[in-house]
């Protein structure tokens, strides 16, 4: 995996790719087929069968996760400590780490798969300060950096599967601090909108 190294194995942390930025990165994209679908080959750890999360992408978006044949670039979905993923396509055997005891649930695995497709956490949006207050004293450094993101003209999505949940007071919605954030039931309506047509998978990066 070249210069890709793991930051740590804490839930919902990204594997950073230190040799290039994930923003405006055309080589980070999974290729789009002539019929408009984005094909992402994968291998599963022997601990897994095809997950509900993969089926959700197939039923709601133009992304198709297909078992790897002999493709050079593919996702290797493994059972290990914690949940982690690289951001976008890094090339070769690309690890998506899903702890079978805590990360194989649909929402958690959807978050990691979205990272592999090139999507940031929702609270990393360039305009996030208009919608949430980040209490820096309660966060892991680096997990809440803002990205120079293309927000696709879509509103901030408190319900995105890509949004962190509230544990200790570290993300507070505004103006209404009681708004629920960070559900893990699966892709939200706006998550699906970002993947519909797959034009947005390209334009997000």
Nearest of 44, 168, 156, 167 to residue 109 by alpha carbon: 44
Residue 28: count other Cβ atoms within 10 Å of its Cβ.
21
Residues 6+ apart with CB under 8 A from 201: 29, 30, 32, 38, 63, 117, 118, 194, 195
pLDDT digits (tens), the chain, 205 positions: 232 223 222 333 344 433 332 344 667 778 888 888 889 999 987 666 666 678 888 888 889 999 999 999 999 988 877 788 988 898 999 999 888 777 777 778 888 898 898 888 899 888 999 999 999 888 887 778 888 777 777 899 999 999 988 877 889 999 999 999 988 888 999 988 888 755 444 433 3
What is the set of domains in the chain, with CATH numbers?
Answer: 13-120 (3.40.390.10)
Q: What confidence score (pLDDT) does residue 18 get?
A: 32
> Which CB contacts under 8 angstroms, 24+ apart, belong to 174-180?
174/131, 174/132, 174/133
Q: What confidence score (pLDDT) does residue 53 get?
A: 73
Under a CB-based contact definition with an 8 Å cutoff, are residues 48 and 40 in contact? no
Q: Give SS3 for 110.
A: helix
Residue 69: count other Cβ atoms within 10 Å of its Cβ.
7
CA distance 112 to 14: 8
Residues 6+ apart with CB under 8 A from 17: 2, 3, 4, 86, 87, 88, 90
Residue 50: count other Cβ atoms within 10 Å of its Cβ.
12
Under a CB-based contact definition with an 8 Å cutoff, are residues 186 and 10 in contact? no
**What is the Rg, in whole angstroms, of the alpha carbon atoms belonging to the chain?**
16
**DSSP one-letter string for 32-62:** BPTTS-EEEEEEE-TT--S-HHHHHHHHHSS
As a whole number of Å, the end-to-end CA separation of the chain is: 20
Under a CB-based contact definition with an 8 Å cutoff, are residues 74 and 43 in contact? yes
Residues 6+ apart with CB under 8 A from 57: 63, 64, 65, 110, 113, 187, 195
Q: What confidence score (pLDDT) does residue 205 get?
A: 33
């Amino acid at each position: 995996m070249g210069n890709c190294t793991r930051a740590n194995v804490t839930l919902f942390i990204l594997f950073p790719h230190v040799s290039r930025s994930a923003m405006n990165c055309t080589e980070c994209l999974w290729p789009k087929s002539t019929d408009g679908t984005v094909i992402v080959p994968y291998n599963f750890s022997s601990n897994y069968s095809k997950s509900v999360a993969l089926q959700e992408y197939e039923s709601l978006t133009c992304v198709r996760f297909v078992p790897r044949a002999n493709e050079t670039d593919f996702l290797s979905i493994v059972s290990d400590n914690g949940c982690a993923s690289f951001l976008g396509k890094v090339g070769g055997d690309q690890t998506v780490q899903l702890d079978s005891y805590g990360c194989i649930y649909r929402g958690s695995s959807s978050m990691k798969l979205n990272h592999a497709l090139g999507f940031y956490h929702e609270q990393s949006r360039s305009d996030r300060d208009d919608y949430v207050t980040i209490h820096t004293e309660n966060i892991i450094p680096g997990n809440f950096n803002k990205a120079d993101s293309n927000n696709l003209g879509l509103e901030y999505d408190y319900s995105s599967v890509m949004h962190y949940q509230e544990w200790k007071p570290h993300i507070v919605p505004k103006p209404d601090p009681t708004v629920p954030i960070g559900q893990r039931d699966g892709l939200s309506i706006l998550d699906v909108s970002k993947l519909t047509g797959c034009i947005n998978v390209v334009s997000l990066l």
